[in-house]
């Protein structure tokens, strides 16, 4: 079986010539340096190269250590944030059940004899004692018509078709709804609702619902975001991974009937919130969960650089229905590694100082221990060696005086 010889392209001769010329130039440059220059260069190299090597190694090791430390801290803060939200929402769940059990609503005689003004005074007092958490409390009859409502918000209409009222009917008790945009006020809010039962017959006689603006959650969590060495952005996700609270407040967009996003000031279309993958596109392919709680991801927000994300999923809490909410904390990677950049600057300054000291010490040593005039004569002899044939060496050497 015959074999076809393989073709191997020859290396162009001009490349070898250029490389050879460069080596000759470098060798000639080094030979032309006097003893003082060569010694100084070696001293600088011996003084700075070890510092640069050790510093560079420390620089890259510190990057991993800093990211790991910040990830650990941020992950702990995400978990604590999730716990704080759970406690807050459990209190809202307790409140709605308390309202549903007030005698003025559950006692048949009081229901018949109480006036709307009296019912309103009761829920107004409850709203005031809550310290500004609620911006609206409403009580409705079996048909969804208003029996009492707090002031300070747009008057309520019939609520029988509201999702949270229907959910309360389904469970025959109290529920916490997912964040939604209020049909009456247009405010992004979290709702709680419950059926009202007659205390004697246990039959459903009406409904009560409370409304908490998402802004209240934002104010609640500001203290958490202020903790730690770096600034963090908070994203709260509902059970469908829709962002209902972000660093810019409620994350909303207006969508047309064709599904396209409209300008924020458009009058038509429907307000809806963002999915987390619209903000962090890397989450379309990268998994972040309680098993992989921290990753680095690029953001679709133009003003934001690469982010370090830490995640905490929904956590069970006694007395709290499963909301399926999760928490995401984000820190700019560049901000997180600012201390590393300071380390690099320190490394450069130390190298400069060491190099300067090496030059100073070397020159002083050379002045004190070397006869540079004699060294120059010997150096000239060596240079003449390069310029003459070996046969001429004796003549050239004899032309220089020896001590």
Indicate whether 140 and 166 sit together in one domain. yes
The residues that bridge with 243 in the sheet, in sequence order, are 237, 274
Q: Give the three-state DSSP class for 290.
A: coil
Domain boundary among 286, 318, 340: 340
Residue 357 within a domain: no
Residue 384 within a domain: no
Indicate whether 158 and 222 sit together in one domain. no
Interval 282-326: pLDDT, tens: 886 777 777 677 777 767 665 667 788 888 888 889 999 999 999
Indicate whether 251 and 280 sit together in one domain. yes
Residue 364 within a domain: no
**Domain interval for residue 269:** 61-90+216-340
**Residue 375 · residue 37 · CB < 8 Å:** no
Indicate whether 207 and 69 sit together in one domain. no
Residue 400 within a domain: no
Total number of domains in the chain: 2
Indicate whether 257 and 170 sit together in one domain. no
Cα angle 245, 248, 254 (rounded to 5 degrees) comes to 75
Task: State the Cα–Cα distance between residues 248 and 275, nearest whole angstrom.
Answer: 15
The residues that bridge with 330 in the sheet, in sequence order, are 233, 309
Indicate whether 234 and 334 sit together in one domain. yes
Q: What pLDDT score was predicted for residue 222?
A: 78
Indicate whether 209 and 305 sit together in one domain. no
Per the structure block, which two tokens stand in for 374? 């004699």
Interval 66-106: pLDDT, tens: 777 778 888 888 898 899 999 999 999 999 999 999 999 99
pTM of the model: 0.69
Domain boundary among 306, 340, 374: 340
Indicate whether 85 and 224 sit together in one domain. yes
Task: State the Cα–Cα distance between residues 114 and 211, nearest whole angstrom.
Answer: 24
Domain boundary among 167, 187, 213: 213
Residue 85 within a domain: yes
**Residue 329 · residue 77 · CB < 8 Å:** yes
Residue 351 within a domain: no
DSSP 66-123: HHHHHHHHHHHHHHHHHHHHHHHHHHHHHHHHHHHT-HHHH-HHHHHH--HHHHHHHH
Q: Give the three-state DSSP class for 234.
A: strand
Indicate whether 255 and 323 sit together in one domain. yes
Indicate whether 234 and 140 sit together in one domain. no
Phi-psi region of 376 (alpha: psi -120 to 50; beta: other; left: phi over 0): alpha
Per the structure block, which two tokens stand in for 46? 């011996």
Indicate whether 205 and 309 sit together in one domain. no
- CA distances in angstroms from 303 to 96, 118, 255, 329, 341, listed in the order given: 41, 52, 23, 17, 21
Task: State the Cα–Cα distance between residues 283 and 123, nearest whole angstrom.
Answer: 44
Indicate whether 257 and 307 sit together in one domain. yes
Residue 271 within a domain: yes
Residue 291 within a domain: yes
- pLDDT less than 70: residues of the chain: 1-20, 35-36, 43, 46-48, 51-52, 54-56, 58-63, 183-186, 223-231, 248-273, 284, 291, 298, 300-304, 335-345, 347-348, 351-352, 354-356, 358-359, 361-403
Q: What pLDDT score was predicted for residue 121?
A: 95
- Which CATH number belongs to the domain containing residue 271 in this structure? 3.30.450.20
């Amino acid at each position: 079986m015959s074999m076809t010889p393989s073709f191997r392209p020859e290396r162009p001769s001009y490349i070898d010539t250029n490389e050879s010329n460069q080596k000759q130039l470098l060798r000639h440059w080094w030979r032309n340096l006097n003893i003082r220059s060569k010694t100084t260069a070696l001293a600088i190299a011996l003084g700075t190269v070890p510092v640069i090597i050790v510093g560079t190694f420390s620089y890259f090791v510190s990057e991993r250590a800093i990211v790991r430390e910040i990830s650990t801290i941020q992950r702990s803060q995400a978990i604590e944030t999730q716990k704080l939200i759970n406690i807050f929402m459990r209190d809202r769940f307790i409140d709605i059940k308390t309202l549903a059990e007030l005698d003025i609503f559950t006692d048949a005689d009081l229901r018949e004899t109480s006036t709307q003004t009296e019912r309103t005074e009761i829920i107004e007092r409850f709203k005031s004692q809550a310290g500004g958490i609620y911006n609206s409390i409403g009580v409705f009859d079996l048909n969804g018509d208003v029996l009492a409502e707090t002031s300070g918000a747009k008057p309520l209409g019939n609520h029988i078709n509201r999702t949270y009222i229907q959910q309360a009917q389904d469970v025959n008790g109290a529920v916490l709804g997912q964040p939604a945009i209020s049909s009456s006020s247009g405010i992004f809010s979290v709702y709680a609702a419950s059926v009202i039962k007659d205390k004697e017959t246990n039959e459903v006689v009406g409904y009560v619902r409370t409304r908490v603006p998402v802004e209240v959650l934002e104010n609640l969590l500001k203290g958490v975001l202020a903790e730690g060495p770096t600034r963090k952005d908070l994203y709260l996700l509902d059970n469908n991974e829709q962002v209902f609270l972000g660093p810019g407040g409620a994350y909303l967009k207006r969508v047309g009937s064709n599904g396209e996003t409209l300008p924020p000031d458009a009058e038509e279309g429907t307000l809806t919130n963002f999915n987390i993958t619209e903000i962090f596109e890397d989450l379309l392919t990268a998994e972040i969960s309680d098993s992989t709680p921290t990753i680095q991801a690029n953001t679709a927000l133009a003003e934001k650089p690469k982010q370090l994300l830490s995640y905490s999923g929904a956590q069970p809490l006694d007395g709290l229905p499963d909301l399926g909410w999760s928490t995401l904390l984000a820190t700019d990677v560049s901000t997180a590694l600012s201390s590393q950049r300071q380390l690099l600057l320190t490394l450069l300054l130390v190298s400069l100082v060491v190099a300067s000291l090496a030059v100073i010490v070397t020159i002083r040593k050379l002045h004190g221990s070397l006869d540079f005039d004699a060294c120059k004569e010997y150096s000239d002899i060596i240079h003449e060696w390069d310029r003459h044939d070996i046969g001429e060496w004796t003549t050239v050497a004899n032309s220089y005086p020896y001590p």
